[in-house]
Amino acid sequence: MEIADDATISNEDILLRILLDDWIKNTETGSRPNSLALLDSNFENSCFISNAESLTELQRLFPGLPVAGIPVEVIRTEGFVVERRPNECPGGYAGDPNDHVVVGPPEPCGRKDYQRKSQAIVKDRRVFMLRLLPQG
């Protein structure tokens, strides 16, 4: 499916990508998402636009999981785009479903090109890591 860039999402916005512990690479200076974290066989990954409400909701839905904070500017610089997909927002998400987005190439591209761009994004130094603390 093609992804249409949403101009209402600014380059200054931060996208939150929920990770598995398997998708983290520990480095000398800390940790970052590994090369698998932003891959999908359909070439589109779920993320959430960061705001106070989405963070609270993600903390409730995915307690304890690591999260990558990815500036939208990094995604667009590498040639990926961001599209809101409220209809694919997880059930039980009590925030604004428009916080849910997918990222990926705007039009069909080769797998090698896709993986190169995805890897360049997760290696960018502006990407940071969080961990969602269990509530309570």
Site residues (CB under 8 A) for other proteins? Answer: 18, 20, 22-23, 27, 34-36, 39-42, 45-46, 48, 58, 61-62, 88-91, 93, 100, 111-112, 115-116, 119-120, 123
Residues in CB range of 135: below 8 A, 6 or more apart: 59, 60, 63
d(CA 54, CA 57): 5
State the residue for tokens 């101009």: 7
Q: How far is the CB of 120 from other proteins (least distance, A)?
A: 8
The nearer residue to other proteins, 12 or 21, going by C-beta atoms, is 21
- Asked whether the beta carbons of 80 and 35 are under 8 A apart, the reply is no
CB 103 to other proteins: min, Å? 12
DSSP classification of residue 11: T
Q: Which is nearer to other proteins, 72 or 102 (CB)?
A: 102
Smallest distance from other proteins to CB 60, Å: 12
The count of C-alpha atoms lying within 13 angstroms of the C-alpha of 130, restricted to the half-sphere facing its C-beta, is 18
Q: In the complex with other proteins, which residue's Cβ is closer, 111 or 126?
A: 111
In angstroms, give the least distance from the CB of 31 to other proteins. Answer: 13
| 3 state SS of 62 | coil
DSSP 8-class letter at 87? G
Q: Which is nearer to other proteins, 7 or 125 (CB)?
A: 125
